C-alpha cells in the first residue's frame, strides 16, 4: 500500500447534508464526447515533428545468460538512428519504493526495463532501436546478434519453491526466515501473521475443511497497448507523453533509472486506454528517452499485443491452502491459509496485500496466515484490480460454501453469523471501522435474484469480497477565473473515465455553482505537486478529498473578499448556494455576492482566487461486496454458461451512481473471464503459447449476461461525503461464486482455475 501510516495525514470527516449534485447522475461527462467522436488522445495518438519509431528486441528464452550482444549490423542499417542496450543504463542498488499497490525495487525495475546479466522470461527486453519507420526498426532488430547460454527454467510456483529448482537470482535468500538461509531460493519472502491460536480454534470446531487451490496467471487485458512518445531536449530535459495510471510515480521511476533530476522530467498522462493496475510501472519510457537522447529526435514506442502479454502485467499464478473449522451452529472457530504467489522474474507479488484480505470479511478469533513470494521465469507481475485477492477469495469462499453445506446452513446465513462488522479485530492489526458487509449480505438475501427459480443443470453460488481504499499523496488546484467559472486541476489519473465527472460534481456541490461552470483538467507533473498513482480504489475517494479541500480553500478566500467588500469581520460571512452572504448581525444589510461578482473584484482585494490541496489522504473506507450467480452447466461439454449475476456492494456514497454500477459490471465480467477461461499457457520451453486476444479468451459481449446491481451506502466517517473506493471489490468474488454455483448445479467442487470446459467435464466424469 505504499506509504507508512502517518499521523500527519488528512481525513475530512463525514457530514450529513442535503446534496444537489453528489449522488445524482450528471448529464454531462467531461471526457465522453471526445471519446465517442474519436478525438480523445491516447498515448499512441501523439506524434511530434521529426519523431522516430522505437522497437524492442525481446528474449526468445525463458532463462539464459547473455554472453554478448552485437548491435553493429543494426546500427549500420540506413534509417536506424540509435540502438540501446544495458550499457546505456546505469546499474542501480537495491531501493524499495511504492508504485501503486505493489512495491518495486529499483535494482529490479532497471533490469526489467532492460536485461543485464540474464534474461529471465520470454519477452524480456535486451535492446531497443529507433529508426525512421517501424518497418526499418523491425528489420534492425533482426540484425542484432545475441549469444545466449540457455539455462534451466521454472514456470510453476510450486516447482519454483522446491530446493532443487532452477534459481533465478543467486543473491536472493528468503527474507522472513530466521536464521537467514545459507542457500539462495526462489522464495523471496516468507510472511506470517496471526490472531489468537488457530490450532486451539480448530479444537473447538465440529467440522473442519481443508482444501488446496491453484490459479493461473491472468492479464489485466486493457485494450490499449502500452505506448509513449519521449523527447529529450537539447537542454537536458525529458518530456514524455504516456499511458500511465500515475505520471508522478512514472517520473520518479524514470529519474531513478536514468539518474536524472525529477524537475528535469515532465510526464504528461495521455487519455488512458485501460490499466486495472497494469500501468503502474514503466516499461517503454526509459528506453524511449535514452533513444531520444542518443538520436536527438523524439521517439515513439508502441507495444504490440504480443509484447503486452509476454512482458507486462499479469497477476500472480497461485497455489493456496485454506483450512477453516466451525461449530455445529455455524460459528467459525479457527482459520488458516497458506498463500504461495508467483511474483514473476523479480520479487514482489501482491502477496502482502492478498494476505491481509484472506479472512477479513469474517469475525474470527483464531487465524494463521502464511505466505511465500516466489520468483519464476515469467514476466514480473503487476497489480491487477484488487491484486491477489480474487485468488485467495476463490479458496476461502469455496471452503466457506462447503462448510455451510456440511453444516446444512444457508450460505448467506452462515456468512451473516460470522460477518465482520464495526469493531471486528483483523488478523493484520487494526479493528474495522463502520463497514457495510452485513448490509450487503442482507440485501443479497432480500434480492429478486434469490427468488428466481433454477432449472435442470443450473446452480446458484454466493461469494463475497473485501478490499481497501488507500489514500496517499493527493494534490489539486482550483482556479476561479475572472468570470466566475472554475477550472479544477487534478493529478490522480482518471483511469476509468469517471473521475472528471465526479470531481465536477464535488466542486459544484462545494461551491454551489452549476456543473457547466466547471472544467476539470488532468495535470502533467509540472503543474501540481506529487500525486500518488491511481490505485487501491483511491481515485474518487482521495481525489475528491483534495477537491473538497481545494474548494473550501477557495471558498474561504471568497468569503475573505466579501468581508473586505462589506468591511465586516470574516465570521460575519457565510457561504451558501454559490454566494457569500452576510451571516451575523449584518444579515439583510448587503446583497449576496456570487462567485462571478467576487471573481471580478478579486484583483483589487488581493489577487486571483484559487484553492489548493496538498494532502496525504488517510481514512480510506474499506469496501465489501456480495455476489450471486446462476450458471447452467452443459453436461456433454462441460461448458458453463452464466445465466444471471448480481453485485451487491457498499459504496459508502455513490457520487455518480450509474458509474458505480458500471464499475460493478466491469469488475464482475473481468472476474467471470478470469474464472472460466483466462490463463497464461506456457510450453515446455517456458514460452508463452497464447500471447494474443484470440487464445487468451477474454469475455466477448455474447459470453455474459446482464449484471444486476444493488448499491449499499454505509458512509465512510473519514470522507466528507462518505465515499468508499469501489473499483476493485467487484473482481474478488466471481471465481468462488462461479465455483460454488457449478457445485450447486453438478455436485463437483473445482479447485483448479480456470474452470474451463475440459476441467468441468473431467470432474463430472469422476463424480
Partner 1 sequence: MSKHHITTTINGDEVDFLCETSQTLLDVLRDELHLTGTKEGCATGDCGACSVSLDGVLVCSCLVLGVETGGKKIETIEGMADGDELHPLQRKFVEHVALQCGICTPGLLVAARSLLAKNPDPTEEEVRFGLAGNLCRCTGYQNIVNAVLDAAAEMRGA
Partner 2 sequence: MRYEAPTSVEAATELLAGGKPEARVLAGGTDILVQMHMDAIAPELLVDIKNISEMRQIESLDDGYRFGAAVTGVELMDHANFCRTWPGVMDGVKLIGSLQVRGRATVAGNVCNASPAADSVPALIAAGAIATIAGPNGRRDIPVEDIGTGPGKTSLENGEILVSFFLAKARPSSGGAYQRFTPRTEMDIAIVGVGIDLTLGDDGVCTHARVALGAVAEKALLVEEAAATLIGTKVDEQALDNLAAAASAACRPIDDKRGTKEYRIEVAGVLARRVAAIALSRAKSAREK
Of 363 and 494, the one with the shorter C-beta distance to partner 1 is 494
Question: Using CA atoms, how far apart are residues 229 and 760, in angstroms rounded to an integer?
Answer: 46
Among 140, 489, 676, 737, interactor with partner 2 by CB under 8 A = 676
**Shortest Cβ distance from residue 756 to partner 2 (Å)?**
6
Does position 54 interact with partner 1 (CB under 8 A)? The reply is no
Question: Using CA atoms, how far apart are residues 342 and 107, in angstroms rounded to an integer?
Answer: 19
Q: Please name which of 35, 14, 18, 44 lies closest in space to residue 501, comparing C-alpha atoms.
A: 35
Q: Specify whether the CB–CB gap between 293 and 132 falls below 8 A.
A: no
Does position 643 interact with partner 1 (CB under 8 A)? The reply is no
Q: Specify whether the CB–CB gap between 270 and 34 falls below 8 A.
A: no
Using CB under 8 A as the criterion, what x/- string covers residues 125-144 for binding partner 2? Answer: -------------x------
Does position 457 interact with partner 1 (CB under 8 A)? The reply is no
Q: Where are the alpha helices (DSSP H) in 632-723?
A: 657-676, 693-696
Does position 680 interact with partner 1 (CB under 8 A)? The reply is no
Of 526 and 685, the one with the shorter C-beta distance to partner 2 is 685
Does position 699 interact with partner 2 (CB under 8 A)? The reply is yes
Question: Using CA atoms, how far apart are residues 200 and 344, in angstroms rounded to an integer?
Answer: 36
Question: Using CA atoms, how far apart are residues 287 and 129, in angstroms rounded to an integer?
Answer: 9
Q: Which residues lie below 8 Å from residue 51, measured CB to CB, with a gap of 6+?
A: 229, 297, 298, 299, 300
Does position 59 interact with partner 2 (CB under 8 A)? The reply is no
Does position 678 interact with partner 1 (CB under 8 A)? The reply is no
Nine-digit cell at 636?
A: 456433454
313 interface partner picked from partner 1, partner 2, none, CB below 5 to 8 A per type: none
Name the 3-class secondary structure at 417: helix
706 interface partner picked from partner 1, partner 2, none, CB below 5 to 8 A per type: partner 1
Among 355, 376, 761, 763, interactor with partner 2 by CB under 8 A = 761
Question: Using CA atoms, how far apart are residues 649 and 658, in angstroms rounded to an integer?
Answer: 14
294 interface partner picked from partner 1, partner 2, none, CB below 5 to 8 A per type: none
328-357 burial string, b = 16+ CB within 10 Å, else e?
eebbbbbbbbbbbbbbbbbbbbbbbbbbbb
Q: Where do we find the cell 481504499?
A: 469
Does position 212 interact with partner 1 (CB under 8 A)? The reply is no
Question: Using CA atoms, how far apart are residues 119 and 345, in angstroms rounded to an integer?
Answer: 9
Considering CB under 8 A, how many residues would be counted as binding partner 2?
25
37 interface partner picked from partner 2, partner 1, none, CB below 5 to 8 A per type: partner 1
**Shortest Cβ distance from residue 483 to partner 2 (Å)?**
47
Q: Specify whether the CB–CB gap between 511 and 595 falls below 8 A.
A: yes
676 interface partner picked from partner 1, partner 2, none, CB below 5 to 8 A per type: partner 2
**Shortest Cβ distance from residue 298 to partner 1 (Å)?**
15
Q: Tell me which H or E stretch contains 473.
A: strand 472-480
Q: Where do we find the cell 458487509?
A: 437
Q: Where do we find the cell 476461502?
A: 396
Of 441 and 761, the one with the shorter C-beta distance to partner 2 is 761
45 interface partner picked from partner 2, partner 1, none, CB below 5 to 8 A per type: partner 1
Among 24, 45, 191, 757, interactor with partner 1 by CB under 8 A = 45
Strands 299-302 and 367-375: unpaired
Among 697, 705, 717, 752, interactor with partner 2 by CB under 8 A = 697
Q: Specify whether the CB–CB gap between 89 and 286 falls below 8 A.
A: yes
Question: Using CA atoms, how far apart are residues 617 and 36, in angstroms rounded to an integer?
Answer: 34
Does position 193 interact with partner 2 (CB under 8 A)? The reply is no
Strands of 345-408 (E only): list them.
Answer: 367-375
Of 125 and 673, the one with the shorter C-beta distance to partner 1 is 673
Using CB under 8 A as the criterion, what x/- string covers residues 80-119 for binding partner 2? Answer: ----------------------------------------
689 interface partner picked from partner 1, partner 2, none, CB below 5 to 8 A per type: partner 2
Of 133 and 637, the one with the shorter C-beta distance to partner 2 is 637
Q: Specify whether the CB–CB gap between 331 and 417 falls below 8 A.
A: yes
Q: Where are the alpha helices (DSSP H) in 499-594?
A: 499-511, 538-566
**Shortest Cβ distance from residue 765 to partner 2 (Å)?**
8
Does position 223 interact with partner 2 (CB under 8 A)? The reply is no
Does position 758 interact with partner 2 (CB under 8 A)? The reply is yes
Q: Specify whether the CB–CB gap between 674 and 733 falls below 8 A.
A: no
Does position 669 interact with partner 1 (CB under 8 A)? The reply is yes
Stretch that binds partner 1, among 23-31, 110-118, 586-594, 716-724 (CB under 8 A): 23-31
Residues 487-546 that bind partner 1 (CB under 8 A): 495-498
Stretch that binds partner 2, among 103-111, 613-621, 623-631, 695-703 (CB under 8 A): 695-703
> What dihedral do alpha carbons 365, 465, 404, 763 form, nearest 10°?
-130
> What dihedral do alpha carbons 671, 676, 682, 684 form, nearest 10°?
150
Question: Using CA atoms, how far apart are residues 371 and 429, in angstroms rounded to an integer?
Answer: 17
**Shortest Cβ distance from residue 703 to partner 1 (Å)?**
8
* Binding footprint of partner 2 on the chain (CB under 8 A): 138, 304, 306, 636-639, 676-677, 681, 689-690, 693-695, 697, 699-700, 702-703, 756-758, 761-762
* Binding footprint of partner 1 on the chain (CB under 8 A): 27, 29, 31-42, 44-45, 47, 135, 220-225, 271-276, 302, 304-305, 495-498, 658-659, 661-663, 665-670, 692-694, 698-702, 704, 706-707
Amino acid at each position: 500500500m505504499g506509504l507508512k501510516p502517518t499521523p500527519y495525514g488528512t481525513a475530512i470527516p463525514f457530514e450529513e447534508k442535503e446534496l444537489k449534485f453528489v449522488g445524482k447522475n450528471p448529464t454531462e461527462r467531461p471526457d465522453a464526447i471526445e471519446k465517442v467522436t474519436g478525438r480523445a488522445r491516447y498515448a499512441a495518438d501523439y506524434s511530434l515533428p521529426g519523431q522516430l519509431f522505437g522497437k524492442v528486441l525481446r528474449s526468445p528464452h525463458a532463462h539464459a545468460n547473455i554472453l554478448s550482444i552485437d548491435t553493429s549490423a543494426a546500427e549500420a542499417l540506413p534509417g536506424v538512428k540509435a540502438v540501446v542496450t544495458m550499457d546505456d543504463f546505469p546499474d542501480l542498488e537495491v531501493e524499495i519504493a511504492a508504485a501503486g499497490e505493489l512495491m518495486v525495487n529499483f535494482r529490479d525495475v532497471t533490469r526489467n526495463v532492460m536485461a543485464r546479466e540474464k534474461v529471465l522470461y520470454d519477452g524480456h527486453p535486451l535492446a531497443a532501436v529507433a529508426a525512421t519507420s517501424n518497418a526499418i526498426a523491425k528489420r534492425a532488430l533482426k540484425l542484432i546478434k545475441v549469444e545466449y547460454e540457455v539455462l534451466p527454467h521454472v514456470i510453476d510456483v510450486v516447482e519454483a519453491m522446491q530446493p532443487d529448482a532452477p534459481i533465478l537470482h543467486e543473491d536472493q535468500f528468503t527474507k522472513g526466515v530466521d536464521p537467514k538461509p545459507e542457500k539462495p531460493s526462489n522464495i523471496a519472502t516468507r510472511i506470517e501473521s496471526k490472531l489468537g491460536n488457530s490450532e486451539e480454534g480448530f479444537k473447538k470446531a465440529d467440522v473442519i475443511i481443508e482444501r488446496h487451490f491453484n490459479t493461473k496467471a491472468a492479464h489485466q487485458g486493457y485494450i490499449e497497448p502500452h505506448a509513449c512518445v519521449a523527447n529529450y531536449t537539447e537542454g537536458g530535459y525529458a518530456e514524455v507523453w504516456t499511458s500511465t495510471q500515475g505520471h508522478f510515480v512514472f517520473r520518479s521511476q524514470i529519474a531513478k533509472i536514468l539518474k536524472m533530476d525529477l524537475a528535469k522530467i515532465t510526464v504528461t498522462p495521455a487519455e488512458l486506454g485501460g490499466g486495472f493496475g497494469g500501468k503502474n510501472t514503466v516499461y517503454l519510457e526509459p528506453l524511449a528517452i535514452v533513444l531520444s537522447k542518443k538520436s536527438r529526435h523524439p521517439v515513439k514506442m508502441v507495444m504490440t499485443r504480443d509484447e503486452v502479454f509476454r512482458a507486462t502485467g499479469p497477476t500472480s499464478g497461485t497455489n493456496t491452502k485454506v483450512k477453516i473449522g466451525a461449530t455445529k451452529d455455524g460459528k467459525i472457530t479457527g482459520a488458516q491459509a497458506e498463500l504461495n504467489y508467483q511474483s514473476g522474474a523479480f520479487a514482489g507479488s501482491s502477496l502482502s496485500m492478498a494476505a491481509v484480505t484472506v479472512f477479513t470479511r469474517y469475525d474470527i478469533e483464531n487465524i494463521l496466515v502464511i505466505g511465500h513470494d516466489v520468483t519464476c521465469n515469467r514476466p514480473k507481475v503487476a497489480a491487477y484490480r484488487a491484486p491477489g485477492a480474487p485468488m485467495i477469495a476463490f479458496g476461502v469462499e469455496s471452503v466457506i460454501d462447503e462448510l455451510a453445506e456440511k453444516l446444512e446452513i444457508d450460505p448467506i446465513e452462515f456468512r451473516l453469523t460470522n460477518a465482520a462488522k464495526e469493531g471486528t479485530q483483523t488478523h493484520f492489526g487494526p479493528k474495522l471501522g463502520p463497514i457495510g458487509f452485513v448490509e450487503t449480505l442482507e440485501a443479497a438475501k432480500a434480492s429478486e435474484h434469490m427468488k428466481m427459480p433454477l432449472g435442470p443443470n443450473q446452480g446458484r453460488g454466493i461469494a463475497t469480497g473485501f478490499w481497501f481504499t488507500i489514500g496517499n499523496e493527493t494534490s489539486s488546484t482550483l482556479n476561479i477565473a475572472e468570470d466566475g467559472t472554475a477550472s479544477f486541476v487534478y493529478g490522480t489519473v482518471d483511469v476509468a473515465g469517471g473521475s472528471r465527472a465526479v470531481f465536477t460534481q464535488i466542486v459544484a456541490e462545494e461551491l454551489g455553482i452549476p456543473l457547466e461552470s466547471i472544467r476539470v483538467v488532468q495535470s502533467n507533473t509540472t503543474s501540481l505537486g506529487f500525486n500518488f498513482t491511481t490505485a487501491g480504489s483511491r481515485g474518487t475517494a482521495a481525489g475528491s478529498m483534495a477537491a473538497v479541500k481545494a474548494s473550501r480553500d477557495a471558498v474561504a478566500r471568497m468569503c475573505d473578499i466579501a468581508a473586505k467588500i462589506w468591511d465586516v469581520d470574516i465570521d460575519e460571512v457565510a457561504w451558501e448556494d454559490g454566494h457569500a452572504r452576510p451571516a451575523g448581525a449584518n444579515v439583510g444589510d448587503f446583497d449576496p455576492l456570487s462567485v462571478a461578482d467576487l471573481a471580478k473584484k478579486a484583483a483589487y482585494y488581493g489577487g486571483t482566487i484559487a484553492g489548493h490541496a496538498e494532502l496525504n489522504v488517510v481514512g480510506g473506507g474499506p469496501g465489501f461486496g456480495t455476489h450471486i450467480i446462476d450458471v447452467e452447466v452443459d453436461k456433454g461439454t462441460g461448458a458453463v454458461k452464466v445465466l444471471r449475476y448480481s453485485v451487491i456492494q457498499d459504496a459508502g456514497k455513490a457520487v455518480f451512481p450509474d458509474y458505480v454500477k458500471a464499475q460493478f459490471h466491469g469488475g464482475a465480467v473481468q472476474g467471470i473471464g478470469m474464472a472460466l477461461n483466462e490463463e497464461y499457457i506456457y510450453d515446455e520451453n517456458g514460452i508463452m503459447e497464447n500471447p494474443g486476444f484470440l487464445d487468451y479468451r477474454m469475455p466477448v459481449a455474447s459470453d455474459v449476461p446482464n449484471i444486476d446491481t444493488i448499491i449499499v451506502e454505509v458512509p465512510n466517517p473519514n470522507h466528507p461525503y462518505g465515499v468508499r473506493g469501489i473499483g476493485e471489490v467487484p473482481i474478488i468474488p466471481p471465481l468462488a461464486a462461479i465455483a460454488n454455483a457449478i457445485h450447486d448445479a453438478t455436485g463437483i467442487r473445482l479447485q483448479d482455475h480456470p474452470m474451463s470446459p475440459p476441467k468441468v467435464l473431467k470432474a463430472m466424469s469422476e463424480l
